[in-house]
């Protein structure tokens, strides 16, 4: 195995062809805590948590150019985790059923960038995200790298410790 292979992390941004179509019709999100316990989360559950809106978000798409600015609305990933899980985690994997995903580190959540906090968004421009648009979408406002962190159709959130 080369050094490159041993450090390859499929959940870190790397070039990728965007998938335009939802992988499934199942809108539930599976939350897996550090001890392996799984629970099912719905959009309705997310809507009950404090809502944050972040303006001026762009999706710098490889497929069809830059779109935006959008106003994304949802719950911060940190508020979501804190309301459903205990501590002990240091990073979180946010994964879609189509295999696309992203690794987010606790430090990124505790110290959000100036662009805004990392969000589990369920609204775009004050309308519910359609299944086509991602339904629940990870929004990383600081990301400008071909939307490689803007995970559509979030279906699993896994908390990890080293």
Ligand X SMILES: Nc1nc2c(c(=O)[nH]1)N[C@H]1C(S)=C(S)[C@@H](COP(=O)(O)O)O[C@H]1N2
Residues that bind Mo ion (CB under 5 A): 18, 62, 146-147
According to the binding rule CB under 6 A, does residue 145 interact with ligand X?
Answer: no
Per partner kind, with CB cut-offs from 5 to 8 A, the member of ligand X, Mo ion, none near residue 150 is ligand X
According to the binding rule CB under 6 A, does residue 153 interact with ligand X?
Answer: yes
Helix (H) and strand (E) counts for the chain?
A: 4, 10
- Whichever of 12 and 62 has its CB closer to ligand X, that residue is 62
Provide the Cα torsion 65, 73, 38, 90; round to 10°. Answer: 80
According to the binding rule CB under 6 A, does residue 96 interact with ligand X?
Answer: yes
CB of 19 to Mo ion, least distance (A): 10
Q: Which helix (H) or strand (E) holds 29?
A: strand 29-32
- Whichever of 79 and 143 has its CB closer to Mo ion, that residue is 143
Per partner kind, with CB cut-offs from 5 to 8 A, the member of ligand X, Mo ion, none near residue 83 is none
CA torsion sign for 123, 124, 126, 131 is negative
Count of residues touching ligand X (by CB under 6 A): 18
Task: Give the span between the Cα atoms of 88 and 26, in whole angstroms.
Answer: 29
Site for ligand X in 55-94 (CB under 6 A): 59, 61-63, 67
**DSSP letter string over 51-65?**
PEEEEEEEEEETTTE
According to the binding rule CB under 6 A, does residue 130 interact with ligand X?
Answer: no
According to the binding rule CB under 6 A, does residue 16 interact with ligand X?
Answer: yes
- Whichever of 47 and 133 has its CB closer to Mo ion, that residue is 133
**DSSP letter string over 83-151?**
HH--S--SEEEEEETTS-EEEEEHHHHHS-BTTB--EEEEEETTEEPPTTTTSSEEE-TT--STTTT--
Given the rule CB under 6 A, which residues bind ligand X?
Answer: 16, 18-19, 59, 61-63, 67, 96, 98, 100, 146-148, 150-153
């Amino acid at each position: 195995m080369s050094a490159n292979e041993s450090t390859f992390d499929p959940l870190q941004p790397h070039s990728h062809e965007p998938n335009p179509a939802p992988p499934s019709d199942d809108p539930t999100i599976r939350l897996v805590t550090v001890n392996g316990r799984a629970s099912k989360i719905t959009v309705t559950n997310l809507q009950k948590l404090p809502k944050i809106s972040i303006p001026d978000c762009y999706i710098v798409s490889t497929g069809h150019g830059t779109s935006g600015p959008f106003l994304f609305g949802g719950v911060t990933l940190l508020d979501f985790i804190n309301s459903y899980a205990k501590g002990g985690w240091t990073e979180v994997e946010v994964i879609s059923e189509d295999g696309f995903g992203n690794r987010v580190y606790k430090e990124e959540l505790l110290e959000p960038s100036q662009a805004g906090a990392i969000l589990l968004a369920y609204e775009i421009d004050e309308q519910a995200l359609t299944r086509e648009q991602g339904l629940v979408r990870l929004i990383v406002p600081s990301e400008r790298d071909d939307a490689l962190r803007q995970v559509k159709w979030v279906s699993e959130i896994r908390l990890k410790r080293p």
